[in-house]
Structure 1
């Protein structure tokens, strides 16, 4: 699947940089539409990617559109609930279409799907800079592998390079270099916890603010465990110390670590959220996925929206339209998603004020209607900010 730089053609119709969920989704849809697509990534696949690995309903929907949901679910650990755990120990289980699959496996599936659709995959290949014509329009990219460099000319370039800003900087589209959030995760194998931890557990606590901890069950007795921090305070947080604190005060995390085997080192990563921090396009180039900020604040979920924005980029490029129409259509499609991202940004106050979770969960334990509203947030037909607005808090006492 991974072709080398020496095999790179001189030109293609669309060059997609980054073979994660957004890039592979775009490459798949474009190849199916009959486009000549080259897909490159700086690492050979399969490869690790730091993530919580949770697949919530928007990811299920996008994977179904790509035709790989059954393949993913055959390898994933299914779950029926998100377990929300409050600082004082209260818990509610919110139902939803859920699963967990390590990104090493998930990204390999969606990348192979792009290749099956007709995209040509080259890796490890590094994106150095865009090529531009005399009018300043992007017309390809300068790529490298080791000490060798090549130029690839393309009608369009799609940047799907994730949260690290170097490619955005090279393309002149980075408005903010710093991340929106940072996270640290590890994989722990502990067969004794099979059946003990069944839900996707998310834990809020004053020792984790402004963030949360999680334990997500993978297959075969492996668990993804981690911590994430949102907002400006992330710059002053020692994530490893935060992780240790999580494993001290939360008994299931303590038991998981004490009786388990850590599979490799803990790894950290930045997140880009709220469709913010980068311009979405310039002539000849579109930005998609987490490079465009496709991760939700508050929850840190990003796989589904990365896939969705990649498909939107492909939709914009599939027709025979002018440059201006492509850019306008794509940017409008992202802006149409923006209000939902802003709702999650507003809901992000929970991570800084975990007592709100105590209040919400205390009430939800007495109200099936409130649990249904929380499930609606997972299914994206509910408003996460309304649950904890002034009006929402008032409703907690009146419903």
Structure 2
């Protein structure tokens, strides 16, 4: 049996489909697979041919595992991934706690290819490289899109669709063109690279996230991949702040300087870099967090994944919630078709589903205060090491089996940490 074709050319693009999914990352591929499995006619496009690299920490936390199981791809992903048992939080003074969880690491080049293939095998027609130029509109409703192939000299093509699902990631061009971008600047920025260092195999076995005053308002990470390769990077999850005129501007932060500081203050990072080989370049990328920065829908169009801000503010993890939002968008469309619902009802369902996720993002948004106050991590480590129950509570937050009630103030966050 031959695998379903990927990267179909612009010339083979059909004139119409039921749903056009823009972006074949986790959110877009999850949406396309869910729709195709339900018998919906889906076209999935991406501006890059697959496989392709994607700047990311590559960590798969529990929500990603659940979403992949629902999509039926978990076994295939885990056959390629490096399983991990703990999220290790490392405080400025060297203290650490290992929060148990269902975790793994798989480079996005491999993960996204698995997800995209799964969508194609379910029946979605995947075309790339195609760039989304603008939506087609009729009386204010999105009814398709105008697309450009890699050859800019050739005329763009149009495709009509009953729904367009925008899963175009953190870069805002597609959201701007679609009229749903509320904020051009990202929530955060990250810089990462891959390092080959066989001597560190067995020494770095967990998802390590480290805080230090020299890294604020950010953090550093090392995540172990397979075959002696490690994902190492730094991030600033709240890199752009509103100024006195209401405009979002980037903080005076140089990520390469933060990365250099990480290798100085965190011994494993220093040893990894000094004794290893950097595979390719350090690469940077924007982050969109906390379900903010874009409208979630407009007539005929739903926004999913990082285009909708699906990344967690504390550590920049967004794969799981990108998958989840993609599935939710697809399910809203499927229900709309099954029940012959109008646009407003489909959009209302999807918006309500995203609103139900907001408390999870609030947890990470409030917890991200440790990035600016790394001494709070010292308190957190001290507290968790004194009480197994507190560590269990932190594991529950990671696994999403425990959501602290009324998490809207720093006091309530500290209550979660310190209450017996």
- State the alpha-carbon separation in 2 of the partners of residues 307 and 24 from structure 1: 8
Q: Does 1:6 align with 2:11?
A: yes
Match of 1:365, SS state, is: helix
Which residue of the partner structure matches residue 355 of structure 2?
335
Q: How many residues align?
A: 398
Which residue of the partner structure matches residue 264 of structure 2?
248
- State the alpha-carbon separation in 1 of the partners of residues 146 and 412 from structure 2: 53
Which residue of the partner structure matches residue 138 of structure 1?
142
- State the alpha-carbon separation in 1 of the partners of residues 42 and 127 from structure 2: 11
Structure 1 residues 171 and 391: CA distance shift in structure 2, 3 A: closer
8 Å contact from structure 2 (residues 390, 418) kept in 1: no
Q: Does 1:50 align with 2:67?
A: no
Aligned structure 1 segments of 4 or more residues deviating by more than 3 angstroms? 383-389, 391-399
The C-alpha deviation readout for 1:81-119, integer Å capped at 9, x for no partner, is 111100000011111100000000000000000000000
Structure 1 residues 56 and 396: CA distance shift in structure 2, 3 A: closer
Q: Does 1:389 align with 2:410?
A: yes
Structure 1 residues 99 and 387: CA distance shift in structure 2, 3 A: farther
- TM-score, normalising length: structure 2: 0.92
- State the alpha-carbon separation in 2 of the partners of residues 227 and 23 from structure 1: 26
Worse overlay, 180-189 or 374-383: 374-383
The C-alpha deviation readout for 1:169-213, integer Å capped at 9, x for no partner, is 001110001100100000000000000000000001001111110
1:61 paired residue among 43, 63, 66: 66
8 Å contact from structure 2 (residues 362, 407) kept in 1: no
Per the TM alignment, residue 235 of structure 1 is displaced from its structure 2 partner at its CA by: 2.8
- State the alpha-carbon separation in 1 of the partners of residues 331 and 418 from structure 2: 45
Which residue of the partner structure matches residue 229 of structure 2?
222
- State the alpha-carbon separation in 1 of the partners of residues 292 and 268 from structure 2: 35
Per the TM alignment, residue 335 of structure 1 is displaced from its structure 2 partner at its CA by: 1.1
The C-alpha deviation readout for 1:305-327, integer Å capped at 9, x for no partner, is 00000000000101322111111
- State the alpha-carbon separation in 2 of the partners of residues 249 and 139 from structure 1: 53
Which residue of the partner structure matches residue 107 of structure 2?
102
Match of 1:46, SS state, is: coil
1:299 paired residue among 291, 307, 315: 315
Map 1:1-399; keep pairs closer than 5 Å.
1-133=6-138, 135-145=139-149, 146-147=151-152, 148=154, 149-231=156-238, 232=240, 235-319=251-335, 320=337, 321-383=341-403, 389-390=410-411, 393=414, 399=420
Per the TM alignment, residue 392 of structure 1 is displaced from its structure 2 partner at its CA by: 5.3
Structure 2 segments unaligned to the other structure (5+ residues): 1-5, 242-249
- State the alpha-carbon separation in 1 of the partners of residues 346 and 111 from structure 2: 29
Structure 1 residues 397 and 125: CA distance shift in structure 2, 3 A: closer
- State the alpha-carbon separation in 2 of the partners of residues 270 and 106 from structure 1: 19
- State the alpha-carbon separation in 2 of the partners of residues 323 and 25 from structure 1: 21
Match of 1:264, SS state, is: strand
The C-alpha deviation readout for 1:230-287, integer Å capped at 9, x for no partner, is 2237531000010001001110000000000000000000000110110011111111
Structure 1 residues 317 and 262: CA distance shift in structure 2, 3 A: same
